[in-house]
Structure 1
Amino acid sequence: MTQSDPVIEWLLDSDPSIRWQVMRDLIDTPERNWMAERAKVETEGWGARLLACRDEDGQWAGGAFLPAGFDPREWRERGQPWTATTFSLSQLREFGLDPACEQARRAVELIGANARWEEGGQPYWQGEVEECINGRTVADGAYFGIDVSAIVDRLAGERLDDGGWNCERTRGSIRSSFASTINVLEGLLEFEKSTGGTLRSREARRTGEEFLLERHLFRRLGTGKPADERFLHFLHPNRWRYDILRALDYFRASTILTGAAPDHRLGEAIEHLRSRRLQDGRWPLDWSLPGRVWCEVDDGQGEPSRWITLRAMRVLRWWDAQLSIDA
């Protein structure tokens, strides 16, 4: 795959947050080159725009999970707002903002000093109470160099009997959810990348992965039917939502870290991903979450999406490379 590929050219004709990942994951650019491109996330495009939206105290929109002065009518009428600190920080992680850069270091320091969760007033880096929120907090904290080991240990102890997690656990749920589980798994994986993990966190990640694999990433265990048809439709940004592309990209990153072979139970989701490719080689954005945002990073529902296409292409490249090794 080379830059003469029209899809690659289309992906490269984009924001630095996409370009550097294309260079690293799809065209094997030397590290010094993609690192130089990655550094632009701090000063150009969506990354720079999002960083410029910070408040003086380091937060975004004056709140941890919700904007300051949030009116519940907005959620009902326009959708959940995505402008507060937790979603902004997660988006910078997705963009690949260098955690060692000056603005990243300053942001996480100020968040630690000033941000408090609306639920109980806890300091931001101590975590909230819901597993999916804490999964993303662990992912962001580990990525940006914060000690989140206490939240990790808590999450490991909050697993349900089927191996995964559910944000409704404290309200009586005894079955894990796909969405809560992928949010926690991504956090545990980022923690393991940064620290090596602990015996407890690695075991929790193993059981969470098995929860998804047993269900082939989208099926009910009892009936075999899709747990939610939306899992088969691709969205971006995912925020807290689940789809099979998010899960496949997670398993790709997991096997790269551990050196394990891809699990054959991913195969059905892989074939669905292939089937959704457009004739021109791109993938569309099927849907997106309504609600207030700082900036749009896709061209609209139904249109080819650079983010979906990037993730789909690197997943298939990883999967097909392993098949060629096994052949």
Structure 2
Amino acid sequence: MVTDQRTLDWMLDSDPALRWQVERDIVHAPPETWQATRARIPDEGWGALLLSQQDADGQWAGGSYFPKGFFDSSERDRPGQPYVATTWALKDLREFGVDAGRLGDTAERLGRNSRWDYDDLPYWDGEVDVCINAFTLATGAWLGVDMTGLATWFREHRLEDGGWNCEAEEGDSTRSSFHSTLNALVGILEYQRFTGDPALEHARHGGAEYLLSRRLMYRASTGEVVGDFVGRIVYPNRWHYNVLAALDYFRSATLHDGTPPDPRLSDAIDVVRAARQPDGTWRQGAPLAGRTWVDVDVAEGEPSRWLTLIGTRVLDWWDAA
């Protein structure tokens, strides 16, 4: 629970993309309240800005995952990567809560005009990277595209230990990755939410077990924390794993499935709880480098409305159980 009314007022004083989630998940306002706020997203603030940047062919920045001309530009040598091309813009709009109907015929235009940087493959067919395919699976389902082919891909590309790894597609690894597995789980859950298709239920639960068996933090071989990234709590995390992002997935998954939190999440909960400030806020970690259309959060070390929203709803969910 937010312990300071000033903190709650500060969270509510935000873009509609964030405010509606505070109203729903923290304030527990009536549906008509948060739904009215959510309906404003395409016409105000971050959502309106992103929609205004769409190209006539349905894309953003002229490309699928990277902007047009990226590989021949000096931007390729800069830290991080740009987050302005089609996949990232659609991911942001979906996660903001924009109604798919406001995208018009975007899905059809992308089907005609957008190709992946990898092998020039058609956009809605996906490519070979697990994380990219996870974003595409979720976004296609949101926009009403038939994504059953890509859904099948996720069943066929699970590794023996239960999860997924982008590097496995190039033959560089036979073990699952925390990053890839979490992105796959989020994408599959979104696919299920939008379509009601249960075909990936077993794969999703198996991937979740991969993370749970490691308590979201530890190596199976040594029991050590898998890497510094697990505690790097930052928003937006894009494709990077951290314990707060993982816990937010498990919160969503248990609410979807009607199941209680798994006790093996407790170590990750302790990390998130320890990062909470006395006024109920969480501070921004080191933001990921890369060009964006709009900055949706604060600089490193400043109180983050997004992290405070996510951290609060995760602890509320855990403590209520």
Category of TM-score, reference length = shorter chain: over 0.9
Following superposition, the deviation at residue 197 of structure 1 comes to 2.6
- Overall identity of the aligned pairs, in %: 48
Q: How many residues align?
A: 319
Unpaired runs of 5+ residues, structure 1, are: 323-327
Following superposition, the deviation at residue 77 of structure 1 comes to 2.1
The question of whether the paired residues in 2 share the 8 Å contact of 1:3 and 1:9 is answered with no
Partner of 2:83: 82
Partner of 2:153: 154
- Which amino acid is the alignment partner of residue 319 of structure 2? D
Superposed CA deviations along residues 15-34 of structure 1, whole A, max 9, x for unmatched, are 00010001111111111111
Following superposition, the deviation at residue 3 of structure 1 comes to 11
Superposed CA deviations along residues 208-253 of structure 1, whole A, max 9, x for unmatched, are 0000001111110111111111211211211111111111000000
Q: Whole-Å Cα distance in 1 between the matches of residues 123 and 9 of structure 2?
A: 40
Alpha-carbon RMSD across the aligned residues, in angstroms, is 1.5
Partner of 2:216: 217
Q: Whole-Å Cα distance in 2 between the matches of residues 308 and 7 of structure 1?
A: 12
Following superposition, the deviation at residue 196 of structure 1 comes to 2.4
Q: Whole-Å Cα distance in 2 between the matches of residues 227 and 192 of structure 1?
A: 29
**SS state at 2:309 partner:** helix
Following superposition, the deviation at residue 59 of structure 1 comes to 0.5
Please tell me whether residue 309 in structure 1 is matched to residue 320 in structure 2. Answer: no
The 5 Å alignment of 1:176-215 reads 176-199=176-199, 201-215=200-214
TM-score by length of 1: 0.94
- Which amino acid is the alignment partner of residue 157 of structure 1? E
**SS state at 2:166 partner:** coil
Please tell me whether residue 26 in structure 1 is matched to residue 17 in structure 2. Answer: no
Q: Whole-Å Cα distance in 1 between the matches of residues 79 and 273 of structure 2?
A: 33
The question of whether the paired residues in 2 share the 8 Å contact of 1:75 and 1:291 is answered with no
Unpaired runs of 5+ residues, structure 2, are: none
The question of whether the paired residues in 1 share the 8 Å contact of 2:3 and 2:279 is answered with no
Partner of 1:270: 269
Q: Whole-Å Cα distance in 2 between the matches of residues 307 and 123 of structure 1?
A: 34
Between 38-47 and 139-148, the greater mean CA deviation after superposition: 139-148
Q: Whole-Å Cα distance in 1 between the matches of residues 265 and 100 of structure 2?
A: 31
Partner of 2:144: 145
Q: Whole-Å Cα distance in 2 between the matches of residues 76 and 237 of structure 1?
A: 22
The 5 Å alignment of 1:72-151 reads 73-100=74-101, 102=102, 104-151=103-150
Partner of 2:225: 226
Partner of 1:39: 39
Partner of 2:284: 285
The question of whether the paired residues in 2 share the 8 Å contact of 1:284 and 1:302 is answered with yes
Please tell me whether residue 258 in structure 1 is matched to residue 257 in structure 2. Answer: yes
* Greater relative CO, 1 or 2 (CA 8 Å, sep 6+): 2
